[in-house]
């Protein structure tokens, strides 16, 4: 991991001693500049109003104490009311808390105070749970090597911040390559593409133009590389619910009550009672139509009793164990050729299990006319039936949308549905032909 490359960009320092060439923060500023990292500085405490302007910073360094250090003597510091000091700290905590909710730009607190005291105050303020704030005593950072070693050690505990910085570096390089190439084709390439898309999509051209840019950027990324050592730490305490939420965030964009888009999208999911309706109509048709209709597949959530993990085996005790952990003991299995009750019990369980939907190697084994998408709309899985299409009016049902299924999952559904509706009927093969000795 090359920390110096990861943190390329403009650093921002908030510290009232930044102009004092004898201060520790001045030394830290020099260490950064020696690595060709431009530094913007301010002697004032940061405010929440500055957050939009800080979104593109490489990282931010903040001092904790903006009261005591402005005062010259110990006597002056003693006379400062606790309420004034608390007010300053509370404003800084609110800034950090708000900043973490809107940005992943790393925040470094270099301070003369005890690190544990600051961690405690941040935790009490509700903004240290995710450890995205790096805290270090100014006295401990005296060389350029020490500074970047501390940053690297912190990144090893924060893979999400490392991924952000590495991905920023990759996409910035690719974005510059893409825009320079298009500019070489024509200085007015943006106008050319805009006019073409607007002429084709009367209503959804804003989205289509954005899709063009995103697709062009993705096509310009040549290689991805991430340092595996960052991900080597074994995770502890990660719940099943956390994993489900991560998977859902990758494939499904949830709509809030006041954040539902005004435009219809392929993949929009409508919920009516316990039933779901998934729009599979092509985006180009939705964008051209002023009052679009949805082409929806009906779906329902899968219940636990309808699912099973595939596979079965005998354990060392002779028990028959299924993939989901359910089992028949050795005592029940022994002598089933003579014990009718036990044989009936096992046969009934096997037949019931055979009717379930099996899960194997990370995916469900689907019927030809069904498709199953796990981890969407806060459900474990939703099963959609391909044989029934229901037309719904966007204007009438737009407020019932709960989110949007994203590519490649919605693309897979569209492809399977298209294959289903044009399939050719074929003769079924008798079992005794394939298994003559059964």
Residues 6+ away with beta carbon under 8 Å from 334: 318
d(CA 99, CA 104): 8
Q: 359-395 pLDDT, tens per residue?
A: 988 999 999 999 999 999 999 999 999 998 999 999 9
Note the pLDDT of residue 271.
Answer: 96
**Residue 74: which pLDDT band, with cuts at 50, 70 and 90?**
very low
Question: 87-92: which pairs have CB atoms within 8 A and are 24 or more residues apart?
Answer: 88/45, 89/64, 89/121, 90/125, 91/45, 91/47, 92/45, 92/46, 92/62, 92/64, 92/66
* Least confidently predicted of 74-78, 189-193, 216-220, 268-272: 74-78
Find tokens 């593409």 and name the residue: 193
Q: 37-51 pLDDT, tens per residue?
A: 999 999 999 998 999
Find tokens 């921002």 and name the residue: 12
Closest to 283 (Cα-Cα) out of 391, 204, 376, 215: 204
- Average pLDDT score over residue span 108-123: 86
What are the Cα distances from residue 4, in Å, to 9, 147, 155?
Answer: 10, 10, 12
Note the pLDDT of residue 68.
Answer: 52
Find the helix packing angle between 159-185 and 205-220, rounded to 10°.
100
Beta-strand pair 363-364/320-322? unpaired
Return the structure tokens found at 316.
């060392």
For residue 61, what are the β-bridge partners?
Answer: 13, 108
Q: Domains of the chain (ranges plus CATH)?
A: 3-69+78-157 (3.40.50.2300), 168-230 (no CATH), 247-303+367-422 (2.30.30), 310-358 (no CATH)
* Least confidently predicted of 74-83, 98-107, 166-175, 385-394: 74-83
Q: 124-159 pLDDT, tens per residue?
A: 887 765 567 888 888 887 777 888 888 888 888 888
Cis amide linkage into residue 349, ω under 30° from 0: no
Residues 6+ away with beta carbon under 8 Å from 310: 323, 358, 359, 360, 365
Answer yes or no: are the C-beta atoms of 328 and 320 closer than 8 Å. yes
Residue 253 pLDDT > 90, yes or no? yes
Q: Is 434 helix (H, G, I), strand (E, B) or coil?
A: helix
Find the helix packing angle between 189-200 and 205-220, rounded to 10°.
130
State residue 153 phi and psi, 5-degree precision.
-60, -40
Region of 318 (left: φ > 0; alpha: ψ -120 to 50; beta: rest) is left
Please tell me what DSSP assigns to residue 306. Answer: G
Q: Is 234 exposed, middle or buried (0-12, 13-18, 19+ CB in 10 A)?
A: exposed
For residue 54, what are the β-bridge partners?
Answer: none
């Amino acid at each position: 991991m090359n920390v110096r490359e990861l943190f390329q960009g403009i650093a921002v320092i908030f510290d009232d001693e930044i102009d004092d060439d004898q201060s520790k923060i001045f030394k830290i500023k020099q260490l950064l500049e020696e690595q060709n990292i431009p530094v913007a500085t301010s002697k004032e405490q940061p405010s929440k109003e500055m957050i939009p302007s800080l979104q593109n910073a490489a990282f931010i360094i903040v001092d904790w104490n903006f009261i005591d250090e402005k005062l010259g003597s110990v006597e002056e510091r003693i006379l400062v009311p606790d309420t004034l000091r608390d007010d300053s700290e509370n404003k800084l905590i609110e800034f950090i808390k708000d900043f973490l909710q809107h940005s992943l730009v790393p925040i470094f607190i270099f301070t003369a105070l005890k690190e544990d005291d600051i961690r405690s105050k941040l935790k009490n303020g509700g903004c240290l749970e995710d450890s995205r704030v790096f805290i270090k005593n100014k006295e401990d950072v005296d060389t350029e090597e020490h500074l970047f070693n501390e940053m690297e050690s912190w990144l090893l505990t924060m893979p999400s911040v490392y991924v952000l910085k590495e991905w920023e570096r990759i996409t910035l390089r690719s974005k510059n390559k893409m825009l320079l190439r298009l500019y070489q084709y024509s200085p007015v390439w943006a106008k050319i593409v805009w006019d073409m898309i607007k002429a084709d999509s009367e209503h959804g051209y804003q989205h289509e133009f954005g899709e063009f840019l995103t697709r062009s950027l993705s096509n310009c990324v040549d290689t991805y590389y991430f340092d595996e050592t960052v991900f080597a730490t074994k995770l502890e305490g990660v719940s099943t619910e956390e994993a489900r939420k991560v998977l859902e965030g990758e494939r499904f964009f949830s709509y809030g009550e006041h954040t539902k888009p005004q435009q219809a999208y392929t993949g929009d999911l409508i919920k009516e009672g316990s039933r779901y309706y998934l729009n599979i109509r092509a985006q180009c048709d939705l964008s051209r139509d002023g009052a679009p209709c949805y082409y929806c597949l009906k779906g329902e959530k899968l219940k636990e009793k309808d699912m099973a993990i595939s596979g079965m085996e005998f354990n060392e005790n002779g028990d028959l164990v299924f993939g989901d952990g359910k089992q028949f003991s050795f005592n029940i299995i022994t002598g089933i050729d003579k014990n009718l009750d036990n044989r009936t019990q096992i046969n009934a369980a096997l037949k019931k299990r055979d009717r379930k939907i099996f899960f194997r190697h990370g995916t469900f084994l689907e019927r030809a006319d069904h498709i199953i998408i796990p981890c969407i709309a806060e459900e474990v899985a939703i099963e959609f039936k391909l044989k029934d299409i229901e037309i719904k009016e966007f204007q009438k049902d737009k407020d019932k949308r709960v989110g949007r299924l994203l590519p490649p999952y919605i693309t897979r559904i569209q492809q399977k549905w298209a294959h289903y509706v044009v399939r050719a009927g074929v003769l079924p093969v008798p079992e005794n032909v394939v298994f003559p000795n059964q």
